[in-house]
Chain A
Amino acid sequence: MSATADLAPGGAAPETAASARAHRRPSTLMVLRWELRKLVSQKRTYLGLVLAGLFPLIFVVVENIHQHGGRGGGLSIFAGEITQSGLAAPVLTLEFLSAFMLPLIAALVAGDIVAAEDGNGTLKTILTRSVDRGQVFAAKALAAVLYGLAAVYVSAAVATIGGVASWGFHPVRTLSGTLVSAPRALLLVFAANAMYLIPLIAVIAFGLLLSTATRNSTASVVGTVGFVILLYILAGIPGLEGWQPYLLTEQFANWHGLLRTPTDWAPILHSLWVCALYAVPCLIAGYLVLLRRDVAGG
């Protein structure tokens, strides 16, 4: 190591430098940017996004083959619309992906984002810098939500581009049977994906809690997906029908209301408070766990 290099200005005037820094502690937004920079440096991040884009691509290719093979139609009105307008494709892919694939992709990051840091020992590295635990937690939560948002819109973008390229930018028939113009349909696709983020955020919050509490990435990711599966099972148990409106998995279809004419806001508003019942306690618990935990790992 260098025997001659000096450490100006810290060595020369450490008091001044430290005092100055005390007033320039990074904001939570800055910590979020740091978290995102770290996220984009990891291969795993792209794995999830590739998965999010792959399914719509496969869907479009398969539907193209079916179309050419003379097969068409489907269970929903949009399946019947698929060859009429490319804008039906993102709606159908959202329907398929919303149940498991997107929650899984979101869980990949949410379940890992604190636990991996803990397992690596880098959590203690971060916590000996100029950031509070609350800032770290908030930045990680926001980063996980932004990642979920990216996955949802990557999927929507691939499906939209693939659908429009295959079947054109044409008006689409809604769930109420009315025809909406292509630009309005595109707006609805965007809005439907945004509404889907409401229950997805609750899934992310649950994953974040597991990640913080268990300190184990695998357990957190598997636990989050397992939680979603458990809710589906609960939804199917006879006698528990009364609970169904309050199950998180039931909120995955909240966006259907947007595709009716006039727009049915009730399922969206319902999902807002139901999802808050899941997300808020998870976030508070996760924050308290991180705040009070002994960071001794690594």
Chain B
Amino acid sequence: MSHTPPGEAPPVRARGLVKQYKEVLAVDHIDLNVDAGDVYGFLGPNGAGKTTTLRMCLGLIMPSAGHVELFGRDPLRVGAAALDGVAGFVEAPRFYPYLPARKNLELLAALDGGDAPGRIDEVLDVVELAPRAKHRVGGYSHGMRQRLGIAAALLRSPRLLILDEPATGLDPAGMRDMRALIRRLADQGITVLLSSHQLPEVQELCDRVAIVDSGRVVYEGALSELRRSGGAGYRLRTTDDARALPTVQAQPGVGQARRDEHGLSFQADERHVGELSLALAAEGIGILALTPELATLEDLFFRLTEGDAKAAPPADGRAVNAARPTPLGDGIPATPAASAREAER
């Protein structure tokens, strides 16, 4: 869970990041807030601007506007010093194909300084590449290179791990192992910023997410809040659905009420559902069935990135970039933290 100590800079804080390539606006005023201990999912369809944003975070490309700070340090201002305690890779990790894995790690450890050279065996063990360490990387499978990428990142004893699609191209077993490794690293206190479009991966690993679409963040907040808000739907069958509908629609805290051949559906949190049941009883309408319908992350993702009109407003979390109508609807209540951040801006 998030626990950046008061007074300490968060692992990642990006404000108004913009990247313009001639006529293409790849990243459009993105804000990110990754707190210490987060496993932060950075979600979006291909071409949404995820990788470009991560490149800006690591100082590989220069923002056209805005800035990013890693533990309070801007890579463009302080250079490599901003990457102290930070590791990861963007797109596929790259190595010298003509060198064995161990030699690659030795070279990278030399660039890291500190105790990195002494950690090579340890990180090779972690990613289970020790038996193949003397083999040239040119002969490695995609999955092995991904694991070597993690090993290279771990050499730096990171406090923040930035991983761009780490499970892409892996077979199911490789994906499972990769998730287990990321989970374990997170359990050891490493903050993880994970870019992915593997929704099950994000759902399993992440506690907070930012969802980007067309270069903009369309949601940032806790994954649980997103799921609860987006998926706090209920299916209701009553003794008289036609009479029940106006009662449901009139009930405070209840939204998106509609009637179809299966009965009624609506969005609400639990407290308002309780009040609704009492209101229906007062009207003399019996409840035959009232069942929650939780939306999956996949449902929410597509609602957010494809503009599903049926999307529900989140009860919490933050739908951002209000200049562009969000698929989650207007009048979305922001979290106190988000409000504070807005005020800060």
Contacts and interface: CB of A to CB of B under 8 A. Distances in A.
Interface stretch (B113-121, B193-201, B277-285, B287-295): B113-121
Interface stretch (A4-12, A62-70, A196-204, A280-288): A4-12
B185 A11 contact: yes
Contacts of A130: 80, 83-84, 111-114, 156
Interface string A121-136: 1101111111111110
Contacts, number: 165
Interface in A1-37: 1-3, 5-7, 9-12, 14-15, 17-22, 24-26, 30-31, 33-34, 37
Nearest to A128: B58
Interface string B75-87: 0000111011111
Interface stretch (B92-100, B220-228, B249-257, B298-306): B92-100
A89 B85 CA distance: 56
Contacts of B185: 7, 11
A127 B107 contact: no
Interface residues of B, number: 61
A215 B83 CA distance: 25
A38 interface: yes
B91 A298 contact: yes
A298 B81 contact: no
Contacts of A34: 107, 110-111
Contacts of A127: 58-60
B268 interface: no
A42 interface: yes
A10 B125 CA distance: 15
A298 to B, nearest CB: 5
Contacts of B247: none
A295 B81 contact: no
A71 interface: no
Given A14-B159, A21-B84, A34-B107, 19 more contacts: A1-B127, A2-B128, A5-B122, A7-B123, A7-B157, A10-B158, A14-B157, A19-B84, A21-B112, A21-B115, A26-B110, A37-B110, A38-B107, A41-B99, A128-B60, A130-B156, A292-B62, A296-B52, A296-B61
Interface of B: 52, 55, 58-62, 79-81, 83-99, 103, 107-108, 110-116, 119, 122-123, 125-128, 147, 150, 152, 154, 156-159, 177-178, 180-181, 184-185, 188-190
Interface of A: 1-3, 5-7, 9-12, 14-15, 17-22, 24-26, 30-31, 33-34, 37-38, 41-43, 120-122, 124-135, 292, 294-296, 298
24 contacts: A1-B126, A2-B126, A7-B185, A9-B115, A14-B158, A18-B84, A21-B156, A24-B114, A26-B111, A33-B110, A38-B96, A41-B99, A43-B98, A124-B90, A125-B152, A127-B59, A128-B88, A128-B89, A130-B111, A132-B79, A134-B79, A135-B80, A295-B55, A296-B61
